[in-house]
């Protein structure tokens, strides 16, 4: 499916940079803004802008997956670019986009889950044959085993 309109689920300079790139590709852009950002520059750099999270604080507004999806559907956006931080590392957000029929511009939820956990990412690298630095094994979940190992190391 060709992308015609991108919603940027972020704010300020991050959003403006994505808008600029989208514009160079001939794509329409949609900004979201919290009440506190109603005069923020990113709101005016997009082709369309919608308030999200009415009654919420700015952090809660920008992190509200249902609100971002609502605006994407309302505006007719085919894709969502999360910028960085905020929702860009949320596999739940990527899944919500897919469920709404919207392209998520970023890694798949599975990739985020695998690489968002350092132990899982290291194990994946090892399985793929990527050289890794030597390290100790992760601590076990059983705290009694951890305490016993600590006692053993302390009595050396």
- Quick check: 63 and 86 in contact, CB under 8 A? yes
Q: Mean pLDDT throughout 109-113?
A: 90
pLDDT at 1 over 80: no
Own/partner long-range contacts of 90-97 (Cβ < 8 Å, ≥24 apart): 90/65, 91/116, 92/65, 93/9, 93/65, 93/68, 96/65, 96/66, 96/69, 97/69, 97/72
Condensed to tens digits (0 to 9), the pLDDT of residues 40-56 reads 999 999 999 999 999 99
Condensed to tens digits (0 to 9), the pLDDT of residues 57-76 reads 899 999 999 999 999 999 99
Look-up of token digits 């809660």: 60
Map out the domains of the chain with their CATH numbers: 5-107 (3.40.50.20), 117-154 (no CATH)
Q: How many beta carbons lie within 10 A of that of residue 127, not counting itself?
A: 8
**Which tokens in the block code for residue 112?**
């985020």
87 vs 9: CA distance, rounded Å: 7
Q: Mean pLDDT throughout 10-18?
A: 94
- Quick check: 36 and 60 in contact, CB under 8 A? no
Residue 12: enclosing H or E segment and its boundaries?
helix 12-24
Q: Mean pLDDT throughout 126-147?
A: 87
- pTM for the structure as a whole: 0.79
Q: Please tell me which residue, 10 or 114, carries the higher pLDDT value.
A: 10
- ∠ CA 89-95-100 to the nearest 5 degrees? 130
pLDDT at 123 over 80: yes
Q: Residue 109's pLDDT is what?
A: 93
Crossing angle (nearest 10°) for helices 91-99 and 65-75: 30
Q: Is 31 helix (H, G, I), strand (E, B) or coil?
A: strand
What are the percentages of helix, strand and coil residues in the chain, rounded to 5? 50, 10, 40
Q: Residue 96's pLDDT is what?
A: 97
């Amino acid at each position: 499916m060709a992308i015609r309109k991108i919603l940027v689920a972020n704010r300020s300079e991050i959003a403006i940079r994505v808008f600029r790139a989208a514009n160079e590709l001939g794509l329409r852009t949609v900004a979201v803004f919290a009440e506190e950002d109603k005069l923020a520059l990113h709101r005016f750099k997009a082709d369309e802008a919608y308030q999200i999270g009415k009654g919420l604080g700015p952090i809660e507004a920008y992190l509200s997956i249902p609100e971002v999806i609502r605006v994407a559907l309302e505006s007719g956006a085919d894709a969502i670019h999360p910028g960085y931080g905020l929702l860009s590392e949320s596999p739940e957000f990527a899944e919500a986009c897919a469920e709404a029929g919207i392209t998520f511009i970023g890694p798949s939820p599975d990739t985020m889950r695998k690489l968002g956990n350092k132990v899982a990412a290291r194990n994946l690298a090892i399985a793929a044959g990527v050289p890794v630095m030597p390290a100790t094994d992760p601590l076990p979940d059983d705290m009694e085993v951890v305490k016993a190992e600590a006692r053993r190391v302390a009595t050396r």
